[in-house]
Every structure is written in C-alpha cells, then in structure tokens.
Amino acid sequence: MIVDIKQKSRLIHQRVSVTFNYEVYFTQNLFELKNPTLAQVISADGEKKPKKLVAVIDAGILKHQPELVKQLIAYTKFYGEVLAIAAEPMIISGGEAAKNDRNLVEQIQQLIEAAGLCRHSYVLAIGGGAVLDLVGYAAATAHRGIRLIRVPTTVLAQNDSGVGVKNGINAFGKKNFLGTFAPPYAVVNDSAFLTSLDDRDWRSGIAEAVKVALIKDASFFYFIHLHSAALEQRDMDTMQQVIYRCAQLHLEHIANSGDPFEMGSSRPLDFGHWAAHKLEHLTNYRLRHGEAVAIGIALDSTYSYLAGLLDCSDWQRILNTLSALGFTLYVPELGEKLSQLEDPDCLFRGLTEFREHLGGELTLMLLQRIGKGIEVHEVNLLLYRQAISLLREF
C-alpha cells in the first residue's frame, strides 16, 4: 500500500495582530468634584449611557484618607451621566499579603458578578502595586477581561508596576507565579496620594527609577544621583520628575522592545530582580519590593564590576547613590545557605526560578556602564559569592 504523505498533513497559518492603546494621566486630587479626569477617561469610549463601575481600595490608604470612599461615591453621583457605581467599594488589605491570598481573587470576581458588570464596565483599582496586581488579575479573568482603571498610590506603582501590562499573584512560594498579560484601560497617577506615604514606601519606588536609568538612560541616573538628598528629604517636585521619566522609560520599552508580553527569554527591565524576588520570599516579605530591588541592583552591579564589565568608579557611584537614598544594601539572607544549592532557601535558587518564570535559557541583564546594560546567559557563582562579601563589607 502506498501512502501519500502530503495528504496526511495540512497546515493553516494564522496570524493575529492586536493593538493596545492606553493613556497614563498625571493629576492631583483625582476625586475632587472639580477634577473631571476620571469622568473624561470613562467617557472617552464614546458610548452614551453611564458605565457601571466597581472599586477595590487598598485599606492602607484609608488610614490617611478616611473620607476617600465618601469622596468616590460623591464623585460618581456628580458625574452620574458618565458612570454609576454598581456596588459598595471593596476594601482589602494591601502589601504583599494581598498577593499571597488567592481567596481575594475569587472575592473580587464575586463582586464583579454580583454587580452585573460586563466587558464594557469598569473595575477601578486604587492602591499600591500589590493591590493593583491582584485586582488586575481578577479583572482580566472575569468575562475574559473587564476594563481596568488603575489608580496607583505609591511611588513604585506610579513609576513602574502600575503603568505596565502585567498582573499577578504569588503562589507555591514564587513571586507572580499566577498572572496575566492584560493592559489596563487607563492609568491615573494622583500625586496627592504620595504625601501620606511613610518613608520606606516613599523611598522604595525610587529603586525602580535607579534600575531603568542604569540600563537605559545615564543622564537620568545622574539626575537621581545629584538629587538624592532632595529625594531622601521628600521633595515632591523632584519626585514627580523622577516618576514621570521612570514611567516614560518603562512605557517606551513595553511599546518598542518587540516583546511586550515576554514571549522570549529576555526581560531587561528586571535588572536586579532575580535576587530581589528571592529575597522577598526569604525575608517573609519583610523587605518591600523596592528595598529588595535596591539590594538586587547593588548585587548585580557589584558582580558586573568583578566580572570586568563595569568600571570601579561607576560601581562605587551606584552603591553610593543607593546608600544616599537611604537603602540598606545587605541583609543576612543574602549570605545564608550559599553552599547548599539544592536548598530552596539558597539565594542562588532564584536564578533557576527566574529562568523558569521566563522559559528558555537563563538571561540576565548586567551593566557595561551607567546607562548601558548587557545580557548574559551564564554566571559565575564564585564571583557572586565575592559580590555578596563586598556588599557585606560595604
């Protein structure tokens, strides 16, 4: 019997291109009645009838702005021709604990279902990066995607996590193990929220600005370096400049890198993050994300110096800048169990987890000079041990 192989195999090649557009707004006192920004964001879709909306709010904000819920409800009534709040706002605890509680995802989905939201309705997420990640994941998986408006309330969320396309929660002891790539409908940065941040949260977000400056924009790094005292002393004008440029660089990368949904093995914007994610877990999230990122930046910069990629003067300037901003660059968890590579609590397990999270080969961003990163696919653990020793001495 002769079999015609050509008749046994057929192929349809499908290619789908999807364009995402979303705006990042910068304003102050978003829920004052005389500020039409949110109403304009929602009315921009061109549909005439009022849109249903539910809000999920980080409980930490209410400690400093106890009238926020009343302000939001009053705002929706004032702009009732545009939006209609469909349920009482849901208040949840913020911080990394939110991303460690999978039950919260279902509770938000239940809120969406009970309120009768459709894919043309809106979920308003108000809070820090962890709350935005959590709510974004719930919104992206209800009806396969409900329009999400993020209102970031921390420096870290306004300049980095809140303006991107990722959502997620932690699972199985791993950072962001469950999640989606789902761009928001819009992002609204309200600088008034920053005034109530404690010093740790104010400082924490600056780490992401240092990160993106080091790999993409030397002049931005030197701006941070020169204004480190002003930032440490909470000068709002300087911080707003840092947030704007940091957000701009992140958005440019997402739009122009050619891999916005990270289908490849490279994630240059996660410079310093392989160690940061592991340190957050090893410290039981005692470290804020930005604090862990600062340590991760210091570690990878030190490794870059020891590997002969980065000049000594640049390396010292980076560590001195991070210190001037108030960051601690060494914690005991950095140096524990380094010889026990199979122990899940060994820092170097973070390299394996980082590769697994992306897929493909290990790809890390290191530094050639300030403003210029370089990707590598292999690392020398002995040099990393030396880098950790240097940080401990520093």
Exposure of 301 in the CB half-sphere (CA atoms within 13 A): 28
Spatial distance between the Cα atoms of 151 and 38, rounded to a whole number of angstroms: 10
pLDDT in tens, 183-217: 999 999 999 999 999 999 999 999 999 999 999 99
Enter the tokens of residue 384. 């990393």
44, 138: one domain = yes
Enter the tokens of residue 57. 């709010």
pLDDT in tens, 324-382: 999 999 999 998 777 676 678 889 988 988 887 777 788 899 999 999 999 999 999 99
Residues near 175 by Cβ (< 8 Å), separated by ≥ 6? 277, 280, 281, 357
Q: Percentage of residues in the chain with pLDDT exceeding 90?
A: 80
53, 183: one domain = yes
**Residue-level pLDDT at 214:** 98
Spatial distance between the Cα atoms of 190 and 30, rounded to a whole number of angstroms: 6
The residue with greater pLDDT, 105 or 268, is 105
Domain boundary among 180, 196, 212: 196
**Residue-level pLDDT at 153:** 97
65, 111: one domain = yes
- Residue at 218 is within a domain: yes
CATH of the domain at 155: 3.40.50.1970
192, 285: one domain = no
160, 216: one domain = no
306, 363: one domain = yes
Q: What is the value of pTM for the model shown?
A: 0.90
Domain boundary among 181, 196, 211: 196
Domain coverage including residue 214: 199-393
The count of domains in the chain is 2
186, 204: one domain = no
**Residue-level pLDDT at 215:** 96
Spatial distance between the Cα atoms of 387 and 302, rounded to a whole number of angstroms: 5
- Residue at 210 is within a domain: yes
Q: Over 60: is that where the pLDDT of 5 sits? A: no
**Residue written as tokens 């329009």?**
147
Spatial distance between the Cα atoms of 117 and 51, rounded to a whole number of angstroms: 9
Residue 265 CA to chain centroid, in angstroms?
A: 19
Q: What's the whole-number average pLDDT of the chain? A: 92
- Residue at 1 is within a domain: no
184, 259: one domain = no
Compute the 3-state secondary structure of the chain and give helix, strand, coil in percent, each to the nearest 5. Answer: 50, 15, 35
177, 322: one domain = no
**Residue-level pLDDT at 2:** 61
- Residue at 7 is within a domain: no
**Residue-level pLDDT at 266:** 60
**Residue-level pLDDT at 107:** 97
- Residue at 18 is within a domain: no
Q: Are 95 and 130 in contact (CB under 8 A)?
A: yes
| Full DSSP string of 58-96 | EHHHHHH-TTHHHHHHHHHHHTTTTEEE-SPPEEE--SH
Spatial distance between the Cα atoms of 378 and 221, rounded to a whole number of angstroms: 27
- Residue at 232 is within a domain: yes
266, 320: one domain = yes
**Residue-level pLDDT at 118:** 95
Q: Over 70: is that where the pLDDT of 66 sits? A: yes
77-90 core/surface letters (b: 16 or more CB in 10 A; e: else): ebbeebbebbeebb
Domain boundary among 171, 196, 221: 196
207, 68: one domain = no
Q: What are the Cα distances from residue 42, in Å, to 48, 122, 136, 255?
A: 11, 8, 17, 23
217, 233: one domain = yes
SS3 label, residue 292: helix
- Residue at 9 is within a domain: no
- Residue at 273 is within a domain: yes
Mean pLDDT of the region 225-247: 97
Q: Percentage of residues in the chain with pLDDT exceeding 70?
A: 96
pLDDT in tens, 115-157: 999 999 999 999 999 999 999 999 999 999 999 999 999 999 9
